[in-house]
């Protein structure tokens, strides 16, 4: 057992199991639910059901729409919250290993953020309390125990968390059954529809997974292969979450029609953007406004277009984790069919996309910004991915990882360091406890040329909590630490990179 896993298990044992107060003694919350993670079975492919790990929820208080199943899927129920609501969640760990839940993108106190130091042992429970401070948008929840996030998410532990607010409601965007959420995840299946994660169990396969991340050959949408959705001839709001461990998508419609982007990680944009293709990295969300009124009973495909991931330059092109395991995994950049929209015949709607969406606070001009700038160098060395040369350690915060509540800073992520013959890899960088704005993105080394197709589709507008930093790039973001003081994380959301330690804590001091 390596040292970080041992530390994880010790931390789990040391964490008091009973963090919950008796229900009678605790002040009531607007939304009160019990969320359980446990092994289960799901029908994913034809044939036998697949063993998965899944979240289930029981709503004890709150509106009936606060917890909604996402079709018949292994994914956790969609939690629908309103801005300003108070929330209590009791998490029951029914897994055979430590776990803890992170509310990705949500501005919650550090006690409710799912930091790995808070992981609880099998059979234990943990109580979350937070108020919904976020703007309307598409967020999600997933486990965050150190060294085990990749396998737990891959096993099926993830769910959507959608926030609504009055500003969004005033826009009259497509709602209810015309507001569709699609969770994109790639998986690899073995005999009897068993989920395969470890690259065939060879040392080499595992090593490749760690360097590149794990790739499946089948893309599941909302937990199903060959996903198809019937739609009416009208406009839809489409919320897309990349819930994959390592795969980046270049999203486009099969017939090349434009995509109207209306929102990113932290909610709606000031105005829609028209794009032919959109890049979506692990952890990121994007919202589209799609109008099927001009389609008469046709089928519209959502695809991921091919892109050059530099595979030809490194070992990635020859050996990938799934291939090592005897499967036929499609590597990073392979073209993929994701979903089909089956347009019903009938009268066409006449929906109009609002020209103006949500108000965003002004962004300080990059040149004029006078706050402190911190640089985070993303590098691979000695078979580890590091941030400023460091890897994750429970409770360790370096002097240069302490910020002050109520201040704003520029964080610059630099991805100039490759790892020997693996070459440089993309890193979707996620910061907990904040929503930031992307100021500037610069290609600084020739390595970046490989990733041009992905760069074309990047949407850096709006509030973001995860930003893709491509090889050879320097990305500057403006972060305001104005939600909560405490200990939070910043890390790569390639889950294999994260599990290898490409993650650090930072502290927001009051």
Binding-site member from 427, 430, 455, 504 for Cu ion (CB under 5 A): 427
Residue 325 CA to residue 499 CA, distance in Å, equals 20
- The least CB distance from residue 378 to Cu ion, in Å, is 7
Please give the size of the binding site for Cu ion, defined by CB under 5 A.
Answer: 4
Encode burial over 223-260: b for 16+ CB neighbours within 10 A, e otherwise.
bbeebebebbbbbbbbbbbbbbbbbbbbbbbeeeeebb
User: Whole-number minimum distance, CB 420 to Cu ion, in Å?
Assistant: 16
Which range in 196-204, 300-308, 471-479, 493-501 contacts Cu ion by CB under 5 A? Answer: 493-501
CA dihedral sign of residues 322, 333, 285, 231: negative
**Shortest Å, Cβ 70 to Cu ion:** 27
- Cβ proximity to Cu ion, 49 vs 417, nearer residue: 417
- In the complex, the smallest distance separating the C-beta of residue 436 from Cu ion, rounded to whole angstroms, is 18
Asked if residue 494 binds Cu ion (CB under 5 A), the reply is: yes
Q: Which is nearer to Cu ion, 267 or 501 (CB)?
A: 501
| Whole-angstrom distance, CA of residue 203 vs CA of residue 422 | 16
Side-chain-facing half-sphere of 340: CA atoms under 13 Å: 11
Among 311, 288, 159, which Cα is nearest to 235's? 288
Which residue is it, tokens 């008796």?
Answer: 22
Which lies closer to Cu ion via its Cβ, residue 185 or residue 494?
Answer: 494
DSSP code for 148: T
Residue nearer to Cu ion on the CB measure, 135 or 427: 427
Q: Among 100, 492, 503, 508, indicate the residue that binds Cu ion (CB under 5 A).
A: 492
- Residue 90's nearest CA partner among 26, 42, 40, 149 is 26
Q: Give whichever of 205 and 380 is closer to Cu ion, judged by the CB atom.
A: 380
Longest distance between any two alpha carbons in the chain, whole Å: 63
Cβ proximity to Cu ion, 143 vs 213, nearer residue: 213
Q: Which stretch binds Cu ion (CB under 5 A): 2-10, 327-335, 479-487, 492-500?
A: 492-500
- Kindly tell me which residue out of 497, 500, 506, 508 binds Cu ion, with binding defined by CB under 5 A: 497
Q: Which of residues 129-158 bind Cu ion (CB under 5 A)?
A: none
Gap between the Cα atoms of 242 and 230, Å rounded: 22
Q: Which residues lie below 8 Å from residue 318, measured CB to CB, with a gap of 6+? A: none
Of 21-29, 44-52, 363-371, 486-494, which segment contacts Cu ion by CB under 5 A?
A: 486-494
Which residues of the chain form contacts with Cu ion (CB under 5 A)?
427, 492, 494, 497
């Amino acid at each position: 057992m390596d040292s970080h896993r041992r530390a994880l298990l010790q931390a789990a044992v040391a964490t008091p199991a009973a963090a919950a107060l008796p229900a009678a003694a605790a002040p009531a919350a607007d939304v009160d639910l019990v969320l359980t993670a446990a092994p289960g079975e799901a029908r994913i492919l034809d044939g036998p059901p697949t063993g998965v790990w899944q979240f289930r929820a029981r709503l004890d208080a709150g509106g009936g729409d606060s917890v909604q199943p996402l079709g018949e899927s292994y994914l956790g129920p969609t939690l629908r919250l309103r801005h300003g609501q108070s929330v209590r969640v009791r998490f029951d760990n029914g897994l055979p290993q430590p776990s803890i839940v992170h509310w990705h993108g949500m501005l919650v106190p550090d006690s409710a953020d799912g930091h790995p130091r808070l992981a609880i042992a099998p059979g234990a429970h943990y109580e979350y309390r937070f108020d919904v401070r976020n703007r309307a948008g598409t967020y999600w929840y997933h486990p965050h125990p150190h060294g085990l996030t990749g396998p737990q998410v891959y096993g099926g532990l993830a769910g959507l968390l959608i926030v609504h607010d009055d500003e969004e409601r005033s826009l009259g965007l497509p709602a209810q059954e015309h507001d569709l959420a699609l969770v994109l995840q790639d998986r690899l299946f073995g005999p009897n529809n068993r989920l395969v994660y470890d690259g065939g169990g060879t040392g080499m396969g595992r090593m490749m997974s760690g360097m590149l991340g794990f790739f499946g050959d089948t893309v599941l949408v909302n937990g199903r292969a060959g996903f198809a959705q019937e739609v009416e001839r009208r406009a839809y709001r489409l919320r897309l979450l990349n819930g994959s461990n390592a795969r980046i998508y270049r999203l486009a419609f099969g017939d090349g029609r434009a995509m109207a982007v209306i929102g990113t990680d932290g909610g709606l944009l000031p105005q829609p953007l028209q794009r032919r293709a959109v890049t979506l990295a692990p952890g990121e969300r994007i919202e589209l406004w799609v109008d099927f009124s001009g389609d008469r009973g046709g089928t519209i495909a959502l695809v991921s277009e091919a892109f050059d991931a530099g595979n030809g330059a490194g070992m990635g092109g020859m050996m990938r984790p799934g291939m090592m395991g005897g499967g036929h995994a499609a590597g990073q950049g392979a073209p993929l069919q994701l979903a089909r929209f089956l347009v019903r015949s009938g009268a066409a709607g006449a929906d109009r996309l609002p020209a103006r969406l949500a108000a965003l606070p002004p962004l300080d001009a990059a040149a004029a910004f006078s706050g402190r700038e911190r640089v985070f160098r993303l590098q691979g060395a000695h078979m580890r991915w590091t941030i400023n040369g460091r890897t994750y350690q429970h409770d360790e915060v370096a002097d240069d990882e302490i910020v002050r509540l109520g201040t704003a800073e520029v964080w610059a992520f630099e991805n100039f360091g490759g790892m020997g013959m693996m070459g440089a890899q993309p890193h979707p960088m996620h910061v907990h406890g904040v929503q930031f704005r992307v100021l500037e993105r610069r290609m600084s080394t020739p390595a970046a040329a490989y990733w041009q197709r992905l760069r074309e589709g990047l949407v850096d507008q709006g509030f973001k909590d995860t930003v893709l930093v491509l090889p050879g790039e320097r990305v500057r973001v403006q972060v305001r630490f104005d939600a909560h003081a405490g200990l939070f994380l910043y890390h790569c959301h390639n889950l294999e990179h994260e599990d290898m330690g490409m993650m650090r804590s930072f502290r927001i001091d009051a």
